Amino acid sequence: MTPFGPRLHAALADRGRMCVGIDPHPGLLAAWGLPDDVTGLERFARDAVAVLGPLSPVLKPQAAFFERFGSAGVAVLARTLADVRATGALALLDAKRGDIGSTSAAYADGLLDPASDLAGDAVTLSPYLGLGSLDPFVTAARAHGGGLFVLALTSNPEGAAVQHARSEDGRSVAQGVLEGLRALNREEGAGPLGSFGAVVGATATLPDGTDASLLDIGGPLLLPGVGAQGAGVDDVRRLVGEAAPAALPSTSREVLGAGPDPAALADACRAAQAQAAVLGGP
Told to judge if 60 belongs to the known catalytic residues of this protein, a careful annotator would answer no
Asked whether the whole model's pTM tops 0.85, one would answer: yes
Residue 174: inside a domain? no
Residue 21's CATH number: 3.20.20.70
- pLDDT at residue 228 in the model: 67
Residue 212: inside a domain? yes
Strands 221-224 and 247-251: parallel
- pLDDT at residue 229 in the model: 67
Q: Is 164 exposed, middle or buried (0-12, 13-18, 19+ CB in 10 A)?
A: middle
Residue 235: inside a domain? yes
Report the domain count for the chain: 1
Residue 184: inside a domain? no
pLDDT, tens only, 78-125: 999 999 999 999 999 999 999 999 999 999 999 999 999 999 999 999
Cα–Cα dist 126/110, whole Å: 16
Residue 230: inside a domain? yes
Question: Which domain, by its residues, includes 55?
Answer: 4-164+189-279
Residue 183: inside a domain? no
Q: Which of 25, 46, 96, 166 is catalytic?
A: 96
Residue 41: inside a domain? yes
User: Which residues of the chain are modeled with pLDDT < 50?
Assistant: none
- pLDDT at residue 234 in the model: 86
Cα–Cα dist 99/66, whole Å: 21
Residue 173: inside a domain? no
